[in-house]
Amino acid sequence: MNDAQLFEFESDFVASLRCVPMAVRFKLDACGIKLTLRQWSRFTRGDRQDLLIAACESPAEIEAYRAALVSLIALRAGEPARALAEAPCGAWTDADQVPPAVVQQSHLVGLAPPSRAEWGRLTELQRFVLIKLTRDKHDNLNFAPAMIEFGMARGVWSRQMSPEFRQTADHQRPGVEPVLGLA
């Protein structure tokens, strides 16, 4: 899996990595560490890039990522790392079941929710992104752009959606995943 990709909907901060990209958030959930934006901002550009591209899939890779992150937080932020307050739900690993929160958020933004087949075609990282963008404590403004980027923009648009998003969705081609990959 290419879990070092930056998505088009994250493009406002891709160049500087000033915000924590979804690919890194995915890895944070895997290793169970809470990383604040303040801590992230203390990391060098090289630190951020390393966290983005580091492998974090096998148990050994997850443990190595966790150890490196704990050390980096202590070094750059001068404080101990904290574990996530709650264990991640892991619903993104289930390619057969569209989570109710994704269905609800789709309706809220005026999109048809992904079908089971569409959900199953998404990568784990893409499913993670859509689930994360439905959370109450998260800025959900990127949910519709992510759906568009993942080729899931079907349905009636809400009047609250910007014309740019509508135009992008109208021209989105199924099967095309416009992501910015980092090698």
Cα separations (Å) of 32 from 57, 70, 94, 102, 176?
13, 11, 19, 23, 32
Q: Is 65 helix (H, G, I), strand (E, B) or coil?
A: helix
Asked if residue 37 lies in contact with residue 19, where contact means CB atoms within 8 angstroms, the answer is yes
Query: Average pLDDT in the 117-130 region?
Result: 95
pLDDT at 3 over 80: no
Average pLDDT over residues 150-176: 53
Is the pTM value of this prediction over 0.85?
no
Q: What is the pLDDT of residue 174?
A: 40
Residue 143 has pLDDT above 80, yes or no: yes
* pLDDT tens digit sequence for 87-115: 777 889 999 999 999 999 999 988 999 99
Helix (H) or strand (E) holding 149: helix 143-149
N-term to C-term CA, the chain: 12
For residue 84, pLDDT over 80 is answered with yes
Longest Cα–Cα distance of the chain, Å, equals 49
Spatial distance between the Cα atoms of 43 and 51, rounded to a whole number of angstroms: 10
Whether pLDDT at 179 is above 90: no
CA gap 163, 159 in Å, rounded: 9
pLDDT over 80 (residue 162):
no
Mean pLDDT on 54-69:
96
183 or 10, which is more confident: 10
